[in-house]
Amino acid sequence: MAAKPIIQGQEFPVITPTSIKDIDEIPVSIDQERVHVLPGSTKTAASFQFDGEDHTLGNALRYIIMKNPDVEFCGYSIPHPSEAKMNIRIQSYDDADVFDILEKGLQDLMDMCDVVTEKFTIAREEFHSNKMQS
């Protein structure tokens, strides 16, 4: 299991299944504790470390960040297989801020999820109504 940060005497798993209740139930401080900027980072070239994340988010985020024309390089790695950590490196062209790029990447990923949900729901309805007719 992933490493667990202790917050206010209570343990929360880094990856909390959120389907039970809303994401707002998980204190923001937990997420702030698990997002790190690695030493040596600058405004245009930074490495981030996310505790409790893996290839699931890593590869998807890498793809969507690479779609940004301000990005010169983006790559991710899992530094060690037995540590639940994921590093992502972003280098930007000109003076583009890597924080903006990362935020845009995450937002784009969320927008994409909404589109897939919408398309899936429509396709499911169509399939079921066609089934009814035939």
The nearest distance, CB 37 to other proteins, in angstroms, is 5
Structure tokens at 79: 């530094």
Does the protein bind other proteins through residue 12 (CB under 8 A)?
A: yes
Pick 3 or 56: Cβ nearer other proteins:
56
DSSP character at residue 134: -
Residue 71 main-chain phi, psi, to 5 deg = -95, 125
The nearest distance, CB 81 to other proteins, in angstroms, is 14
Structure tokens at 102: 């990362």
Residue 36 main-chain phi, psi, to 5 deg = -125, 150
Identify residues 27-86 at the interface with other proteins (CB under 8 A). Answer: 28, 30-35, 37, 41-43, 50, 53-57, 59-64, 66-69, 71
Alpha-carbon distance of 91 to 79, in angstroms, equals 19
User: Out of 75, 89, 124, 134, which residue is the one contacting other proteins (CB under 8 A)?
Assistant: 124
The nearest distance, CB 94 to other proteins, in angstroms, is 14
CA dist 95 → 46, 67, 69, 79 (Å): 13, 17, 13, 28
- Signed CA dihedral, 30, 35, 39, 40: sign only: negative
The nearest distance, CB 62 to other proteins, in angstroms, is 7
Residues in the site for other proteins, rule: CB under 8 A? 1-2, 9-13, 15-21, 23, 26, 28, 30-35, 37, 41-43, 50, 53-57, 59-64, 66-69, 71, 99, 102-103, 106-117, 119-124, 126-127
